């Protein structure tokens, strides 16, 4: 069975360009339709629906690391260094 041919870099780049242009056009049309169909009253609700699901995980990423897990990790590292004969014999 012959091996499948790899696309040339030019055709791969053209495929990416066409895909990006299609996505941009789709976003443009969806934004235009949304603006026309929702009217000003619906824009606030749509903004809230789109905004909060992105903000909540972002806030979660900003949380302070768990200090207890950091201490446990450091304790395990010390125990490993003490129990490792190669490291112990160098000291």
Structural domain includes residue 67: yes
Provide the H-helix boundaries in the chain.
9-61, 67-83, 85-90
Token output for 89 = 């014999």
| Chain segment 28-76, per-residue pLDDT in tens | 998 888 888 888 888 778 877 877 777 777 777 676 555 556 566 666 6
Structural domain includes residue 1: no
Q: To 5 degrees, how large is the angle CA 43–CA 44–CA 49?
A: 95
- Give me the domain span that covers residue 60: 10-90
Token output for 51 = 């905004």
CA–CA distance from 43 to each of 37, 54, 56, 60, 77 (Å)?
A: 10, 17, 20, 26, 53
Q: Is residue 91's pLDDT more than 60? A: no
Give the pTM: 0.45
Structural domain includes residue 34: yes
Question: How many domains, the chain?
Answer: 1
Structural domain includes residue 5: no
Structural domain includes residue 35: yes
Structural domain includes residue 4: no
Structural domain includes residue 65: yes
């Amino acid at each position: 069975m012959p091996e499948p041919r790899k696309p040339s870099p030019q055709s791969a780049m053209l495929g990416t360009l066409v895909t990006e242009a299609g996505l941009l056009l789709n976003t443009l049309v969806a934004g235009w339709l949304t603006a026309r169909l929702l009217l000003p009253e619906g824009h606030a609700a749509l903004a809230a629906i789109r905004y909060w699901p992105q903000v909540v995980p972002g806030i979660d990423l900003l949380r302070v690391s768990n200090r207890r897990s950091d201490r446990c990790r450091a304790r395990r590292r010390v125990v490993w260094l003490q129990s490792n004969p190669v490291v112990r014999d160098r000291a």
